[in-house]
Homo-oligomer: A and B are copies of this chain.
């Protein structure tokens, strides 16, 4: 899947592995992320498969960059993927829920403390979606008005994050209240 994230970005314009990492960190990080080392490895594989080409670009007083460009074959592959609906919910792993599931031996106070930590974390995440993430999309659209259609979808993914995080905070509030009332000692 990282493959398609990289092709998706390269379909906007050619760029280096380092650039791709920064774009991901700023836009898709909350639903798709990757380490630089893995990005370099995957780019190499994409080039071997003929989905991208690369060429080194010299720079003054900076290391050389290797700039990747999507090929026609790469675009075909990307379009095929975009046109294929997802028919299953991706199974997720949530360490906090796993821990909570087995936490009956915890004291009431420890349990509440852990729930409050989670509440803070998710509230901060909401704030980020509403400020930084929203601003970034706005700025990009102002600078590149031809990406208006794209921006609608970028904002839909942002809203997804915002709405889900709000639901999680509500759940944590409800759970804190429940523990307060019903959890003995």
Q: Taking beta carbons and an 8 Å cutoff, which residues of A are in contact with B?
A: 1, 4-5, 8, 11, 27-33, 78-79, 81-83, 85-106, 110, 113-114, 117-118, 121-122, 125, 147, 149-150, 152-154, 156-157, 159-160, 163-164, 166-168, 170-171, 174-175, 178-179, 182-184
Contact = CB atoms under 8 A, between A and B. Distances in A.
Given A27-B101, A28-B97, A164-B168, 8 more contacts: A82-B103, A82-B106, A100-B157, A101-B153, A104-B149, A160-B175, A163-B174, A164-B171
Contacts of A113: 85
**Chain A interface, DSSP helix/strand/loop, else mixed:** helix
Q: How many copies does the complex hold?
A: 2
14 contacts: A5-B98, A32-B94, A33-B93, A78-B102, A82-B102, A86-B114, A89-B122, A100-B156, A101-B157, A102-B153, A149-B184, A152-B182, A159-B171, A164-B167
B178 A102 contact: no
A86 B1 contact: no
A175 B159 contact: yes
Counting from the closest, the 6 A-B pairs by CB-CB distance are: A167-B167, A8-B102, A31-B97, A31-B94, A104-B150, A163-B171
